[in-house]
Structure 1
Amino acid sequence: MKADHFIRTSTKSGYKKVCIHIRRGDFLKERQLRNGFSVADLTYIKRAKEVFLKRYSKVQFVVLSNDKKWCKMHIKGDVISNFTEPGDDMALMALCDDVVVTSGTFGWWGAWLSGGTTVYFKGYPRPMSPIDRRFNRTEYYPPHWIGL
């Protein structure tokens, strides 16, 4: 399995593996933004990382994204997945101990499958947007997940 090989060869043994799933790409299109799709900024990602840095003495972040170029420019010191197939990304999220999700259902499912602690972006969907008016946050985000 590619994801298992990636974890074994790209991360440090004995460290908690925390996946950060960063959804960008199509969520940045004008129509999507108007409807209420939103993209987490670096401030959110830094705050989410702090949750795990305070929790664990040894933590390693593994970044997955549909915008690897942006991640390589803005996120330093973390392992960035080189996978191009969604199934490989999903398997990698499921293998991580904990997950940080930004926006969208793909990251949500990866966090669910991981079964660990999940930190999610409370700005998705954008509050008071057309999507938000039809969105039930209490049904979408499990109560034990941490919203930032």
Structure 2
Amino acid sequence: MSNTYTQIHIQCVMAVKYRQALIQPEWKDQLQKYITGIVQNHGHKVIAIDNMPDHLHLFFGFRPNQSLSDLMRIVKGESSEWINLQRFTPTVFRWQEGYGAFSYSRSHVQRVTNYVMKQGEHHKKHTFLEEYRQLLEQFEIKYDERYIFKEPE
């Protein structure tokens, strides 16, 4: 897109279906590289990516050449398929329906990058649901409790 200049920074948060702790340390780096490849193949730039066993944070520079919902559908679908083909999990792997998406100004890029990359430390103090609700409230996003990510089953 000639003559189109943007600076859009998005953090997306997605959870494993039923919040099962399926993402194992042995293959989390491979997963992060795979998702980075998907995002970059669609023209966006990954700034930071990290995950816990039950969820993933993806912070990236977003290009307006596709919708965010299309990109996230592709990321979740292709990464699920890849995980299943690799047989990393004892059961079929799926991401939970939906995701959180939060936009940031350039002045917040380093802070958000640090936050994403220190998920292990952060979750020693706060649960995923506490973190997710805090993001929704910080960004003043109204939400229906029925559709918030669920506690692990």
Identify whether the pair has TM-score above 0.5, normalized to the shorter chain. no
Q: TM-score, normalised by structure 2?
A: 0.28
If the length of structure 1 is used for normalisation, what is the TM-score? 0.29
